Amino acid sequence: MIFENNLAFAKNLDQNDPIGHMRNEFLFPQQNGEPFIYLCGNSLGLQPKTARAVLDRQMTNWENLAVEGWFRGETPWMFYQRELKKLIAPLVGAHPDEVSPMNTLTVNLHLLMVSFYKPNKNRFKIIMEAGAFPSDQYAIETQVRFHGYDPKEAIIEVSPREGEYTLRTEDIVSAIKDNGNEIALVLFGGVNYFTGQLYDMEAITKTGHAIGAVVGFDLAHAAGNVPLQLHDWGVDFACWCSYKYQNSGPGGISAIFVHEKHFNDKSLNRFAGWWGYEAARRFKMEKGFVPEIGADGWQLSGAQIMPMALYHASLQMFEKVGFMTPLRAKSKMLTAYFCYILNEVNHQLGEEQYKVITPLTEEDRGAQLSIVAKENGKQIFEHLVANNVLGDWREPNVIRLSPVPLYNSFEDVFETGKLLLSVCKELNYSKA
C-alpha cells in the first residue's frame, strides 16, 4: 500500500479496518478531560470494559456462595481455569492441556527451570540474548548459582554485531552450534523488551534441539502480540505474563506452556504443591506427589480466581476478534504506517531526528517500535505525555511506542507523528 501523510488518509484506513470496532471495547486513561493516545500496551494493556462485570460476577459468587463457590454457581472456581485454558491455547498455538494460568511470570520461570534446566559436568551452560529483561537475567543467574556454577562461565549471551541494535538469526544459530556440547538450556525471549525484535523461535528451537539442549521462551512481549505455534515448533516450555498485550490488569496472572511430549517424563524434577496433584484424587489428601497430567501438574497453590476473572475478560476479546490472524494483519499495517510517518517527520526536519531501532522488516517485529531521538529524547517523551500521548521511556535513550491492534487506530499514529514533528520545531531542531 502507498501511504499518505494526512489525516483523511489515516481516517480512511480506520473506516476500512475490519476490527476497528474493538477500540470501543476498552477504557482509555484521560488527562485534562481528554483521552490519551495510548501507545503503552507493551507495558500495561488497557482495561476491557467487561473486566469490571466479570470480576463483579466472582465477587457476587464469593458474597452469596462463600466456600461453596468452589463447586457451585455458573463458573465453579474448582474448574474455572478450564475456561481460560480453552482461550489461552489458540493465542500461543498449543493444546489446552499444554497451558495453565498460574502465579506470576518470574515465579513460573523459576518453576519451569527446576524441571528443564538439568546441568551436568559436561552440559551446564544456558544461552540467552544479551540485554534480556532484568528479571530473566536475575532468574537465570540465581538458578545457575543454585546448581553450584559460576554465572560468568555458565551463561552465554548473544549480542548484536558492533554498530547494530538487534540480533541476526544466523548469529544466534551459530552461537548455539558453536557451544553445542556444553549447552543444557536455550532460553530466549520471544520479543525483546527493549528493541521490540521478534526472534525466529522456530529456528532457535530447531537448532537447540539439534545440539541436544532443552529450549524455552519467556513470551512476556510475544503472547497476544505475535502469532505463536509452540506445539508445532516443538518448544519444550514457555511462560508469559498477561498484563501487557493480553490486558489482564496490573500484576495479572501468568501462564505456562509445557509440551505434551514431557507429560509422562518421570525424570523431571519439580517443586510441587497441592493444586498440581492429580485432580481426581486431590481431596484424598494422601502423601506422595502424583502430578496432574499436563501443564496443570506444575501448579502449586489454589486457583487465583480474581486475577483469572480479569484475564478471562480480555481473553474473550481475543475470541471475539478471531484470535491472532486479524490482529497480526492490522499490527503489521499499523507499524508500517508508523515507520512511514516517522520517515516523513525526519524528511520535514531535514535529518534523521528519529531512528527506529526495531527491525524495519514487518516479520521481525511485533506491535512495538523503539525509537532513539537524536537529541533530548527525554524532553521529547515528556512533551508527548504532556500532550496526551502515552508511551514509555527506557534508559538511556529509547522511547517505546506500541500501537496495539485491539484498540489503537491509524489516526493515533498520524497524530503522534504530528506531535513528534511539532516538538522538534519548537526546540529548533529543523535543518530544512
Contact 161, 193 (CB under 8 A): no
Give the C-alpha distances (Å, rounded to integers) separating 19 from 22, 27, 409.
Answer: 6, 17, 10
Contact 339, 369 (CB under 8 A): yes
Place of cell 543467574: 141
**Which residues, including other chains, have CB under 8 Å from residue 301's CB and lie 6 or more apart?**
273, 274, 275
Please, how many CA atoms are within 13 Å of residue 240, restricted to the half-sphere of its CB?
35
The reported pLDDT for the residue numbered 156 is 98
Listed in sequence order, the DSSP H helices in 256-376 are 305-321, 324-349
Is the pTM higher than 0.85? The answer reads yes
Read off the C-alpha cell for 116. 528443564
430's torsion region: left (phi>0), alpha (psi -120 to 50) or beta? beta
Query: Of 130, 367, 328, nearest to 229 (Cα)?
Result: 328
Q: CA 31, CA 424: separation in Å to the nearest integer? A: 23
Give the C-alpha distances (Å, rounded to integers) separating 297 from 216, 232, 269.
Answer: 18, 21, 12
Enumerate the β-bridge partners of residue 32: none
Instruction: Tell me the residue length of the chain.
Output: 432
Q: CA 425, CA 297: separation in Å to the nearest integer? A: 58
Please state the CATH superfamily assignment of the domain spanning residues 7-35+324-426 in this structure. Answer: Aspartate Aminotransferase, domain 1 (3.90.1150.10)
Q: CA 58, CA 64: separation in Å to the nearest integer? A: 10
The reported pLDDT for the residue numbered 174 is 98
The reported pLDDT for the residue numbered 425 is 83
**Which residues, including other chains, have CB under 8 Å from residue 113's CB and lie 6 or more apart?**
139, 140, 143, 185, 187, 216
Q: Are strands 125-129 and 155-158 parallel, antiparallel or unpaired?
A: parallel
Q: CA 195, CA 131: separation in Å to the nearest integer? A: 9
Domain segments of the chain as ranges: 7-35+324-426, 53-321
Give the C-alpha distances (Å, rounded to integers) separating 262 from 234, 267, 329.
Answer: 11, 10, 33
For the chain (length 432 residues), average pLDDT per consecutive 10? 96 97 97 96 97 96 96 92 96 98 97 97 97 96 97 97 97 97 98 97 98 98 98 98 97 97 94 92 90 95 95 96 97 98 95 95 97 92 95 94 98 97 78 51
CATH number corresponding to 53-321:
3.40.640.10
Contact 91, 223 (CB under 8 A): yes
The reported pLDDT for the residue numbered 207 is 98
Give the angle 174-179-180 at the CA atoms, nearest 5°.
Answer: 95
The reported pLDDT for the residue numbered 429 is 57
Read off the C-alpha cell for 239. 511462560
Read off the C-alpha cell for 171. 548469529
**Which residues, including other chains, have CB under 8 Å from residue 425's CB and lie 6 or more apart?**
349
Find how far residue 15's CA is from the centre of its chain.
28
The reported pLDDT for the residue numbered 123 is 96
Q: CA 37, CA 391: separation in Å to the nearest integer? A: 9
Radius of gyration from C-alpha coordinates of the chain: 23
